[in-house]
Amino acid sequence: MLGLNKGENKVENNSGSMDCMKLFCLPYAGGSATAFSKWKRGLDPRIELVPVELAGRGRRFREPFYPSLPDGVKDIFPFIREQNGDGEYSLFGHSMGTLYICELMNQICEHGWKKPRHLFLSGMYPPHIRDKKKIHHLPDDEFIQEIIQLGGTPKEVAENRELMQIFTPVLRGDYKNVENYLLEAAPEMWDINVTVLTGDDDDLVTADDISQWRAYTSESCTIVTLHGGHFFIHEEEEKVIEIINRTLTA
Protein backbone atom coordinates (compact mmCIF):
# COMPACT_ATOMS: atom_id res chain seq x y z
CA MET A 1 0.00 0.00 0.00
CA LEU A 2 1.25 3.44 -0.85
CA GLY A 3 2.33 5.41 2.20
CA LEU A 4 1.36 9.00 2.88
CA ASN A 5 4.02 11.35 4.11
CA LYS A 6 1.67 13.27 6.36
CA GLY A 7 4.23 15.97 6.98
CA GLU A 8 4.10 16.97 3.34
CA ASN A 9 0.37 17.67 3.18
CA LYS A 10 0.04 20.95 5.00
CA VAL A 11 -3.11 22.83 5.93
CA GLU A 12 -3.68 26.46 4.94
CA ASN A 13 -5.97 27.83 7.66
CA ASN A 14 -7.70 31.10 6.82
CA SER A 15 -9.17 31.84 10.21
CA GLY A 16 -7.41 29.82 12.87
CA SER A 17 -10.82 28.53 13.96
CA MET A 18 -11.38 24.84 14.52
CA ASP A 19 -15.07 25.28 13.61
CA CYS A 20 -14.74 26.53 10.05
CA MET A 21 -15.65 24.50 7.00
CA LYS A 22 -12.69 22.64 5.49
CA LEU A 23 -12.42 22.72 1.70
CA PHE A 24 -10.19 19.92 0.38
CA CYS A 25 -8.96 20.74 -3.14
CA LEU A 26 -7.72 18.14 -5.62
CA PRO A 27 -5.66 19.23 -8.65
CA TYR A 28 -5.76 18.60 -12.36
CA ALA A 29 -3.31 16.31 -14.20
CA GLY A 30 0.25 17.47 -13.66
CA GLY A 31 -0.90 19.91 -10.99
CA SER A 32 0.13 20.18 -7.37
CA ALA A 33 -1.28 21.75 -4.23
CA THR A 34 0.11 25.10 -5.38
CA ALA A 35 -2.63 25.24 -8.04
CA PHE A 36 -4.89 26.52 -5.25
CA SER A 37 -2.38 28.58 -3.25
CA LYS A 38 -3.80 31.95 -4.36
CA TRP A 39 -7.28 31.06 -3.19
CA LYS A 40 -6.45 31.58 0.48
CA ARG A 41 -6.65 35.36 0.30
CA GLY A 42 -10.04 35.33 -1.44
CA LEU A 43 -11.88 32.65 0.51
CA ASP A 44 -14.27 33.62 3.28
CA PRO A 45 -12.58 33.36 6.72
CA ARG A 46 -15.12 30.68 7.63
CA ILE A 47 -13.63 28.39 4.96
CA GLU A 48 -10.35 26.61 5.63
CA LEU A 49 -8.36 25.85 2.48
CA VAL A 50 -6.79 22.38 2.44
CA PRO A 51 -4.97 21.72 -0.86
CA VAL A 52 -4.18 18.01 -1.16
CA GLU A 53 -0.69 17.15 -2.44
CA LEU A 54 -0.57 14.02 -4.57
CA ALA A 55 2.52 11.82 -4.74
CA GLY A 56 5.12 12.50 -7.43
CA ARG A 57 4.84 16.30 -7.50
CA GLY A 58 5.22 19.44 -5.40
CA ARG A 59 6.37 18.68 -1.86
CA ARG A 60 6.03 14.95 -2.58
CA PHE A 61 7.98 14.88 -5.84
CA ARG A 62 10.37 12.18 -4.60
CA GLU A 63 7.53 9.72 -4.01
CA PRO A 64 6.47 7.27 -6.77
CA PHE A 65 3.45 7.98 -8.96
CA TYR A 66 0.24 6.14 -8.23
CA PRO A 67 -0.28 2.96 -10.33
CA SER A 68 -3.97 3.85 -10.59
CA LEU A 69 -6.42 6.49 -9.47
CA PRO A 70 -7.94 4.23 -6.75
CA ASP A 71 -4.41 3.74 -5.37
CA GLY A 72 -4.17 7.51 -5.13
CA VAL A 73 -7.40 7.66 -3.13
CA LYS A 74 -6.10 4.98 -0.74
CA ASP A 75 -3.11 7.26 -0.17
CA ILE A 76 -4.85 10.59 0.36
CA PHE A 77 -8.05 9.62 2.14
CA PRO A 78 -6.40 8.89 5.53
CA PHE A 79 -5.05 12.45 5.38
CA ILE A 80 -8.49 13.87 4.64
CA ARG A 81 -10.09 11.90 7.47
CA GLU A 82 -7.36 12.85 9.92
CA GLN A 83 -7.47 16.54 9.03
CA ASN A 84 -11.24 16.74 9.10
CA GLY A 85 -12.10 14.66 12.15
CA ASP A 86 -15.85 14.99 12.77
CA GLY A 87 -16.12 18.47 11.29
CA GLU A 88 -17.95 19.75 8.24
CA TYR A 89 -16.06 19.57 4.96
CA SER A 90 -16.51 19.97 1.22
CA LEU A 91 -14.52 18.79 -1.80
CA PHE A 92 -13.34 20.69 -4.87
CA GLY A 93 -11.71 18.96 -7.83
CA HIS A 94 -10.72 20.23 -11.24
CA SER A 95 -10.40 17.87 -14.22
CA MET A 96 -8.48 14.85 -12.84
CA GLY A 97 -9.32 16.09 -9.34
CA THR A 98 -13.02 15.61 -10.12
CA LEU A 99 -12.43 11.92 -10.82
CA TYR A 100 -10.57 11.68 -7.51
CA ILE A 101 -13.74 13.00 -5.87
CA CYS A 102 -15.81 10.31 -7.64
CA GLU A 103 -13.56 7.58 -6.27
CA LEU A 104 -13.51 9.22 -2.84
CA MET A 105 -17.31 9.25 -2.82
CA ASN A 106 -17.34 5.60 -3.85
CA GLN A 107 -15.18 4.74 -0.84
CA ILE A 108 -17.07 7.06 1.54
CA CYS A 109 -20.43 5.52 0.64
CA GLU A 110 -19.08 1.96 0.74
CA HIS A 111 -17.60 2.35 4.22
CA GLY A 112 -20.29 4.57 5.71
CA TRP A 113 -17.92 7.44 6.46
CA LYS A 114 -19.00 11.04 7.07
CA LYS A 115 -20.06 12.60 3.78
CA PRO A 116 -19.01 16.04 2.56
CA ARG A 117 -21.49 18.86 2.76
CA HIS A 118 -20.94 19.96 -0.85
CA LEU A 119 -19.11 18.80 -3.97
CA PHE A 120 -17.56 21.14 -6.55
CA LEU A 121 -16.93 19.20 -9.77
CA SER A 122 -14.97 21.30 -12.22
CA GLY A 123 -13.84 20.90 -15.81
CA MET A 124 -14.54 17.17 -16.21
CA TYR A 125 -17.03 14.76 -17.74
CA PRO A 126 -18.58 12.00 -15.56
CA PRO A 127 -16.57 8.77 -15.30
CA HIS A 128 -19.13 6.66 -17.18
CA ILE A 129 -18.34 8.57 -20.40
CA ARG A 130 -15.66 6.50 -22.13
CA ASP A 131 -15.53 7.81 -25.72
CA LYS A 132 -12.91 10.48 -25.15
CA LYS A 133 -9.60 10.68 -27.00
CA LYS A 134 -6.74 8.90 -25.21
CA ILE A 135 -3.28 10.46 -25.31
CA HIS A 136 -1.20 8.90 -22.53
CA HIS A 137 0.32 6.32 -24.90
CA LEU A 138 1.49 8.86 -27.52
CA PRO A 139 5.20 9.49 -28.21
CA ASP A 140 6.64 12.36 -26.18
CA ASP A 141 6.48 15.02 -28.91
CA GLU A 142 2.85 14.26 -29.77
CA PHE A 143 1.86 13.94 -26.13
CA ILE A 144 3.44 17.29 -25.24
CA GLN A 145 1.71 18.98 -28.18
CA GLU A 146 -1.67 17.67 -26.99
CA ILE A 147 -0.98 19.02 -23.49
CA ILE A 148 0.02 22.45 -24.80
CA GLN A 149 -3.13 22.66 -26.94
CA LEU A 150 -5.28 22.17 -23.83
CA GLY A 151 -3.82 25.35 -22.38
CA GLY A 152 -2.81 25.86 -18.79
CA THR A 153 0.90 25.35 -19.47
CA PRO A 154 2.88 28.55 -18.79
CA LYS A 155 4.47 29.90 -21.97
CA GLU A 156 7.96 29.79 -20.47
CA VAL A 157 7.47 26.08 -19.70
CA ALA A 158 5.80 25.19 -23.00
CA GLU A 159 8.66 26.76 -24.97
CA ASN A 160 11.38 25.10 -22.89
CA ARG A 161 11.89 21.55 -24.17
CA GLU A 162 14.00 20.52 -21.17
CA LEU A 163 11.35 21.69 -18.71
CA MET A 164 8.61 19.92 -20.63
CA GLN A 165 10.64 16.71 -20.55
CA ILE A 166 10.81 17.02 -16.75
CA PHE A 167 7.03 17.46 -16.43
CA THR A 168 6.11 14.82 -19.02
CA PRO A 169 6.38 11.73 -16.74
CA VAL A 170 4.03 13.31 -14.18
CA LEU A 171 1.54 14.33 -16.85
CA ARG A 172 1.71 10.98 -18.62
CA GLY A 173 1.18 9.09 -15.37
CA ASP A 174 -1.82 11.23 -14.49
CA TYR A 175 -3.36 10.91 -17.94
CA LYS A 176 -2.89 7.14 -17.87
CA ASN A 177 -4.78 6.96 -14.58
CA VAL A 178 -7.55 9.27 -15.80
CA GLU A 179 -8.00 7.48 -19.12
CA ASN A 180 -7.97 4.03 -17.51
CA TYR A 181 -10.23 4.93 -14.60
CA LEU A 182 -13.42 2.94 -14.21
CA LEU A 183 -15.62 2.79 -11.13
CA GLU A 184 -15.62 -0.88 -10.08
CA ALA A 185 -19.34 -0.69 -9.37
CA ALA A 186 -22.15 1.60 -10.38
CA PRO A 187 -21.84 4.59 -8.07
CA GLU A 188 -24.39 5.00 -5.31
CA MET A 189 -26.42 8.13 -6.00
CA TRP A 190 -25.07 10.89 -3.79
CA ASP A 191 -27.47 12.65 -1.42
CA ILE A 192 -25.27 15.73 -1.56
CA ASN A 193 -25.67 19.12 -3.25
CA VAL A 194 -23.34 19.47 -6.22
CA THR A 195 -22.00 22.45 -8.15
CA VAL A 196 -20.60 21.65 -11.59
CA LEU A 197 -18.28 24.24 -13.16
CA THR A 198 -17.38 24.34 -16.84
CA GLY A 199 -15.70 26.66 -19.32
CA ASP A 200 -17.59 27.91 -22.37
CA ASP A 201 -14.54 27.28 -24.58
CA ASP A 202 -13.42 23.93 -23.12
CA ASP A 203 -12.71 21.51 -25.98
CA LEU A 204 -12.42 18.55 -23.60
CA VAL A 205 -15.91 18.70 -22.10
CA THR A 206 -19.21 19.23 -23.91
CA ALA A 207 -22.46 20.69 -22.59
CA ASP A 208 -24.04 17.23 -22.88
CA ASP A 209 -21.20 15.75 -20.80
CA ILE A 210 -21.79 18.32 -18.09
CA SER A 211 -25.56 17.76 -17.97
CA GLN A 212 -25.02 14.07 -17.20
CA TRP A 213 -23.65 14.92 -13.76
CA ARG A 214 -27.28 15.41 -12.71
CA ALA A 215 -27.69 11.62 -12.61
CA TYR A 216 -25.09 11.33 -9.84
CA THR A 217 -27.01 13.08 -7.06
CA SER A 218 -30.51 12.98 -5.63
CA GLU A 219 -30.05 16.54 -4.37
CA SER A 220 -29.53 19.78 -6.29
CA CYS A 221 -27.03 19.90 -9.14
CA THR A 222 -26.19 23.46 -10.13
CA ILE A 223 -24.31 23.92 -13.41
CA VAL A 224 -22.29 27.11 -13.80
CA THR A 225 -20.66 28.06 -17.10
CA LEU A 226 -17.74 30.46 -16.89
CA HIS A 227 -15.73 32.11 -19.62
CA GLY A 228 -12.57 30.29 -20.67
CA GLY A 229 -11.03 27.05 -21.83
CA HIS A 230 -10.16 23.94 -19.87
CA PHE A 231 -8.25 25.93 -17.26
CA PHE A 232 -10.97 28.51 -16.65
CA ILE A 233 -10.40 28.13 -12.88
CA HIS A 234 -7.30 30.27 -13.36
CA GLU A 235 -8.78 32.61 -15.97
CA GLU A 236 -11.88 33.18 -13.82
CA GLU A 237 -10.33 32.63 -10.40
CA GLU A 238 -12.22 35.43 -8.67
CA LYS A 239 -15.57 34.16 -9.93
CA VAL A 240 -14.76 30.58 -8.88
CA ILE A 241 -13.88 31.78 -5.37
CA GLU A 242 -17.05 33.90 -5.27
CA ILE A 243 -19.13 30.81 -6.13
CA ILE A 244 -17.42 28.78 -3.40
CA ASN A 245 -17.92 31.52 -0.80
CA ARG A 246 -21.56 32.03 -1.68
CA THR A 247 -22.28 28.30 -1.68
CA LEU A 248 -20.54 27.33 1.56
CA THR A 249 -21.57 30.32 3.68
CA ALA A 250 -25.23 30.48 2.69
> Which runs of consecutive H residues, i.e. helices, occur in 64-95?
69-84
> CA–CA separation, 248 vs 230, rounded Å?
24
Contacts by 36-43, CB closer than 8 A, 24 or more apart: 36/92, 37/12, 38/237, 39/237, 39/241, 40/12, 40/14, 42/237, 42/238, 42/241, 42/245, 43/14, 43/241, 43/244, 43/245
Q: Is 95 a catalytic residue?
A: yes
From 32, 90, 95, 122, active-site residue: 95
Contact assessment for residue 223 and residue 199, using Cβ atoms and an 8 Å cutoff: no
Q: Where in the sequence numbering do the catalytic residues fall?
A: 95
